Structure 1
Amino acid sequence: MKIALFAPDGRMGRAISDAAAQTGDIEIVEEGGDVLIDFSAPDALRASIDRALSGNMPLLVGTTGLDEGHESLLASAAEDIAVLKAPNTSLGVALLSDLVERAARVLSREDWDIEIVEAHHKHKADAPSGTALHLGLAAEKGRVEDAHDEMGRCGTGLKRETGSIGYAAVRGGTVAGDHDVLFLGPQERLILSHRAESRAIFARGAIAAARFLKEQGPGLYSMADVIDAE
């Protein structure tokens, strides 16, 4: 399989190249390719979509910090090519998302509060992380209702809204990515966690997603589809 990287010199581009070299059956190419992978920046999304459409290549987008306009661009592109949007390409995080949805479905909003705490390296530009927001959406899906988001609380006289989802972001050092989803109930706590020890896990997950995406027709896919196909 031939993989084209939209940002080959970025941190994730280099990690994917290293991971591909260990597979023995994947070649990183500058032009063409069976799948295009973009881990660049929101402002570059239109350019990566145009490149994928012009080459009729499936597109894997691992960029975080996307807004509604970006989501609209991806949905439009998915009418013509296979598009997989993944705020986190770790297979472990994909499974964590499924577990969060299940837990939220079982634990009532009246008795169980949900808090999401994440930590990343000091150079990460967006907060909360795309993964944290993705896990929050999984919790909302489990509870079959929209939830009020409480971001970075600060001040006095604060009161937690029943059913809300709280987010806290920590930035520093070289942390690849830590995520904790806390279900806080009466006299007990359930904590679902994931720890990323290096970018290599995201690179391996991106390659697994690329293998999946290569076989798909036009449409919008997620990492949940990848683990379901395993």
Structure 2
Amino acid sequence: MADRDAAVLDDPVGESLRGHHAHLARRRGGAATYLPGVATFSAVSTDPDPGEWADLARLLGRGEFADLFSCPVLPPPDWEPVFVLDGLQLLWPDGGSPDRPAETDTGVVELGADDVPEMLDLVERTRPGPFWPRTRELGTYLGIRDGGRLVAMAGERLRPPGWTEISAVCTAPDARGRGHAARLVRALVARILARSERPFLHVAEANTGAIALYERLGFEVRRHVTFRGFRTP
């Protein structure tokens, strides 16, 4: 999918740390990472030299985890590989609109600081991806409750200029099959479009069920990505 406005999505972590999330960043030279407890994502420039990798290693500390997300360049050989995961980046089409007005859905609630323990518990049980005690500071998180219990949530993560990533889409095992994920994603899409930004998201290539859901909702695949994590020397 070609989209000339999507070039910033080639480096969504770096663009977020330099822009909307600058207040949540730690920085040294050309390297940057999120504050502890917010996210583990780190970024370097598009053509980093050895000094830049050294700056990132000093930011993170000796033997610490470096989540390079979809960074196209590899660190020096003394950085120990931790994981590699194939994925897809999907975009909301330019000019697209949700198939129904999700903001009128009274079952969707905004989650706040007091909800963090339940959010962490739900993430622990469903494993949608990285989520930490301060991750909710990246953007708005929405949830659905059943009998007062949080059974589904989704929220905003990376924020490159003009875009907002939808992430942490998860539903408790005993509450699946009720359309909760679709309701939450629609509600987030409506919010993002209302502030004249476009939604995008990432998904593991093996998660065919999630890919099918996002495509039914209107998202389109932009490109394949490879997520990588390392441990600093």
Using CA pairs below 8 Å that are at least 6 residues apart, which structure has the higher relative contact order?
Answer: 2
Q: TM-score, normalised by structure 1?
A: 0.27
